[in-house]
């Protein structure tokens, strides 16, 4: 037999040693989400599912946790209540449903009962002629009588001597009406609960475990540059601008509510490596919204706010920091400094040498500007609002982030409080600085910075007085002003939060209209 026709030995079937894969539940149990739990829905080889997954960075629950409204970044499109309102509503709803069900009663006839009432077979015996026969009137059909819907109740035929027949029939009818009404009320309560579930927010609370879902994590689209470029750009000064993003994101699914994105952050004008569109694309991926078209909208909002504030923040009115040599320690040094102020700046009329003149020039040159303003702080932190009045110097080198960190440490505030207070202070300083430049309040102390400012046509100051800050008499505040300067933390009700949300929505729409007008002009 030719070798080509010889039967080839069959290969043994490959035995698969791949272990069986199981999957954890897609979500957690109802209730507050426990800490340090792995994302649900991951795969495992443990059939008992007793060992938690050990994989890291493959799954993420961040978008689903944000959509529960635990932070101010994302809130439902229509808010129906917070943690307290939800707890009260669910308790009242359970009480109403229990009352409806108990009010119907176990013995009350129901439409869904298999046999509301037992039907009685009544047999009547009659005699006719010489023979008698049995007639069953229950089986006899009459074409002349019209049966109504209440014939199924199974009442016995009426007796002329029975005076309570109509009342018994009325009671049965009212029992059925009560049962039908109870079923309709229970259905309406369940429907109301489903509608309210769409707008619950867990602001300031822990995320509910039954609403947490896992998604497959994707690599973030960052741009990585070389160390040489980073070192080259390290000395570039940081110019920060407060940015506010308010967007309404409708839902593509009818069963899911839309969301509102409210973000506050600082943008560095001198950032060389990250563009607004790159930042917006990463933000959309992180919070789980489609980059098209929202990444473009967010980038345009950032660019519009940067262009509006860039001319103000680039003008530096900061005084140089005081050193130990500038500090006066004793009364003799105070008198010496006051005597130096009376020395003539020019000339040797009374025999002063050039060295004394240089000292006088140095003392005159280090005159600090009085650019004090009042920062009206009003920041919503979860379900509370923080109000305070802070006196700030526009020429101070103190960074708002440093102040906010210490401020929150003193008040015991954590979480979103530090960045929110930092952005709020930057917004106030930006408005005051712009008004001070419009009023030319820096002409005497910072003439070069004032010369760079171009007045806006018809731009009236909004927050500053034309004569500048009131002269500082002492470090102690007057006693009648002590109530005005101090932090106040107030818990907001749901009505107040809705009112603030309406004001913020109007401001966001105004910003979008301004952006659309600017795009048409281009």
- pLDDT, residue 325, reads 62
Whole-number percent of the chain with pLDDT over 90? 23
- pLDDT, residue 280, reads 95
- In this structure, the answer to whether residues 233 and 196 fall within a common structural domain is no
Q: How confident is the model at residue 166 (pLDDT cuts 50, 70, 90)?
A: low
Domain that holds residue 189: 79-99+184-200
In a domain, 62, yes or no: no
Encode pLDDT of 480-511 as tens digits. Answer: 777 788 899 999 888 888 888 888 778 877 87
Which residue, 439, 490, 443, 496, is CA-closest to 468?
439
In a domain, 85, yes or no: yes
Decide if 461 contacts 440 (C-beta within 8 A): no
- In this structure, the answer to whether residues 189 and 94 fall within a common structural domain is yes
Tell me which range, 271-275, 319-323, 332-336, 456-460, is most confidently predicted by mean pLDDT. Answer: 271-275
In a domain, 271, yes or no: yes
Q: What is the mean pLDDT of residues 71-95?
A: 84
- pLDDT, residue 463, reads 54
Q: What is the mean pLDDT of residues 204-229?
A: 88
- Given 261, 283, 314, the domain boundary residue is 314
- pLDDT, residue 27, reads 86
In a domain, 294, yes or no: yes
Decide if 407 contacts 430 (C-beta within 8 A): no
Long-range contacts of 105-108 (CB under 8 A, 24+ apart): 108/175, 108/178, 108/179
Q: What is the mean pLDDT of residues 142-147?
A: 46
Q: Residue 303 CB: number of other CB atoms within 10 A?
A: 16
Q: What is the mean pLDDT of residues 114-134?
A: 42
- pLDDT, residue 173, reads 63
- pLDDT, residue 152, reads 45
Q: What is the mean pLDDT of residues 286-294?
A: 91
- pLDDT, residue 139, reads 46
In a domain, 459, yes or no: no
- Looking at 314-455, list the stretches that DSSP marks H as alpha helix, in order from N- to C-terminal side: 331-341, 354-365, 400-411, 417-438, 447-451
> For the chain, what is the mean pLDDT?
75
d(CA 133, CA 53): 83
Tokens representing 427 are 């917004």
In a domain, 434, yes or no: yes
- Given 314, 334, 360, the domain boundary residue is 314
- In this structure, the answer to whether residues 236 and 280 fall within a common structural domain is yes
The mean-pLDDT minimum among 107-116, 402-411, 413-422 falls in: 107-116
- pLDDT, residue 147, reads 46
Whole-number percent of the chain with pLDDT over 70? 68
In a domain, 461, yes or no: no
Q: What is the mean pLDDT of residues 371-400?
A: 90
SS3 string, 219-251, reads CCCCCCCCHHHHHHCCCCCCCEEEEEEEEEECC
In angstroms, the first-to-last Cα distance of the chain is 87
Cβ within 8 Å of residue 284, ≥6 positions away: 290, 291, 294, 295, 298
Query: How many structural domains does the chain have?
Result: 3
The mean-pLDDT minimum among 135-139, 290-294, 395-399 falls in: 135-139
Choose between 81 and 130: higher pLDDT: 81
- pLDDT, residue 355, reads 55
- In this structure, the answer to whether residues 405 and 443 fall within a common structural domain is yes
In a domain, 368, yes or no: no
- The H or E element containing residue 204 is none
- pLDDT, residue 337, reads 60
- pLDDT, residue 107, reads 41
Cβ within 8 Å of residue 322, ≥6 positions away: none
- In this structure, the answer to whether residues 310 and 408 fall within a common structural domain is no
């Amino acid at each position: 037999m030719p070798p080509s026709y010889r039967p080839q030995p069959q290969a043994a079937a490959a035995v698969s040693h791949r272990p069986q894969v199981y999957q954890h539940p897609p979500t957690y149990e109802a209730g507050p989400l426990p800490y340090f739990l792995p994302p649900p829905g991951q795969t495992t080889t443990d059939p008992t599912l007793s060992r938690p997954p050990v994989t890291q960075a493959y799954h993420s629950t961040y978008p689903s946790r944000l959509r529960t409204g635990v932070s101010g970044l994302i809130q439902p499109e229509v808010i129906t209540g917070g943690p307290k309102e939800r707890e009260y509503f669910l308790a009242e709803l359970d009480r109403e449903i229990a009352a409806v069900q108990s009010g119907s009663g176990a013995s009350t006839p129901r439409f869904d009962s298999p046999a509301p009432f037992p039907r009685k077979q009544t047999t009547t015996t009659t005699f006719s002629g010489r023979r008698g026969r049995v007639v069953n009137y229950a089986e006899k059909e009459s074409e002349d009588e019209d049966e109504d819907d209440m014939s199924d109740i199974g009442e016995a035929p009426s007796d002329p001597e029975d005076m309570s027949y109509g009342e018994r029939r009325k009671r049965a009818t009212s029992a059925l009406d009560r049962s039908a009404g109870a079923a309709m009320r229970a259905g309406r309560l369940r429907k109301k609960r489903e509608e309210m579930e769409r707008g619950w927010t867990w602001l300031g609370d822990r995320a509910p475990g039954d609403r947490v879902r896992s998604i497959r994590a994707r690599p973030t689209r960052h741009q990585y540059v070389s160390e040489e470029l980073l070192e080259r750009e390290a000395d570039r000064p940081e110019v920060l601008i407060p940015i506010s993003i308010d967007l309404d994101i409708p839902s593509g699914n009818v069963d899911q509510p839309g969301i509102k994105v409210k973000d506050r952050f600082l943008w560095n004008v001198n950032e060389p490596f990250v563009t607004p569109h790159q930042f917006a694309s990463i933000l959309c991926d992180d919070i789980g919204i489609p980059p098209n078209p929202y990444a473009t909208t967010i980038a345009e909002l950032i660019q519009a706010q940067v262009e509006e504030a860039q001319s103000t923040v680039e003008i530096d009115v900061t005084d140089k920091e005081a050193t130990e040599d500038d500090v006066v320690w004793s009364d003799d040094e105070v008198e010496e400094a006051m005597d130096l102020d009376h020395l003539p700046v020019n000339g040797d009329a009374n025999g002063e040498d050039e060295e004394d003149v240089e000292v006088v020039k140095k003392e005159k040159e280090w005159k600090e500007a009085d650019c004090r303003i009042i920062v009206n702080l009003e920041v919503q932190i979860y379900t509370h609002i923080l109000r305070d009045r802070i006196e700030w110097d526009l020429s101070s080198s103190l960074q708002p982030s440093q102040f906010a960190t210490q401020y929150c440490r003193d008040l015991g505030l954590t979480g979103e409080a530090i960045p929110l207070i930092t952005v709020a202070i930057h917004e106030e300083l930006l408005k005051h600085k712009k008004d001070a430049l419009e009023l030319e309040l820096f002409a005497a102390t910072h003439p070069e910075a004032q010369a760079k400012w171009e007045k806006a046509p018809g731009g009236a100051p909004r927050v500053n007085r034309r004569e500048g800050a009131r002269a500082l008499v002492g470090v102690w505040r007057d006693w009648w002003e002590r109530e005005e300067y101090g932090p106040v933390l107030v818990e907001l009700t749901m009505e107040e939060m809705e009112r603030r949300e309406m004001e913020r929505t109007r401001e966001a729409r105004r910003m979008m209209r301004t952006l659309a007008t600017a795009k048409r002009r281009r």
